[in-house]
Amino acid sequence: MALSREDVKRLAELSRLALTEEEMERMEQTLDPVLEYVGRLAKLDTSGVPEAEEWSDALPPLRADEAHRASPETRKAILSNFPDKAGDALRVPGVFEKPKG
């Protein structure tokens, strides 16, 4: 399945990636073999393979989430070097905003 330049542009847009022309060309060449391989996998006969009942048993146990408090000096250094802040909070771009540029 050959990807067109428009396909790559759309994927980059959906992924919030700003790609140069060189990067888009490289993505066209890189993504084609991946999609071809996925297509081959989709054609495999898996009728005799039992479904996994509990995939999470194969994963290592998760660590407990613990809050980490930075020292006041570290917090002050981070805040003073961060480009955009709201009071003592660091302001970052929204996940669902359209990227600038």
* Helical H segments across 15-92, by residue range: 21-42, 72-81
Q: What is the mean pLDDT of residues 90-95?
A: 83
What is the chain's mean pLDDT, rounded?
85
**Confidence at residue 70, expressed as pLDDT on a 0 to 100 scale:** 85
- Report angle CA 92, 95, 97 to the nearest 5 degrees: 95
Query: Which residue ranges make up each domain of the chain?
Result: 5-42
What 8-state DSSP symbol labels residue 66?
-
Helices 5-14 & 21-42 angle (0-180, nearest 10): 90
pLDDT band at 1 (very low <50, low <70, confident <90, very high): low
* pLDDT value at 32 more than 80: yes
Residue 41 in this model has a pLDDT that exceeds 70: yes
Domain topology for 5-42: Histone, subunit A (1.10.20)
| Dist. CA 42–CA 52, nearest whole Å | 17
Confidence of residue 22 (pLDDT cuts 50, 70, 90): very high
Residue type for position 1: M
* Among 33, 27, 3, residue whose Cα is nearest residue 15: 27
pLDDT at position 97 is 66
Q: For residue range 48-87, what is the model confidence (pLDDT) as tens digits? A: 888 877 777 677 887 787 777 889 899 889 889 999 988 8
pLDDT of residue 101: 57
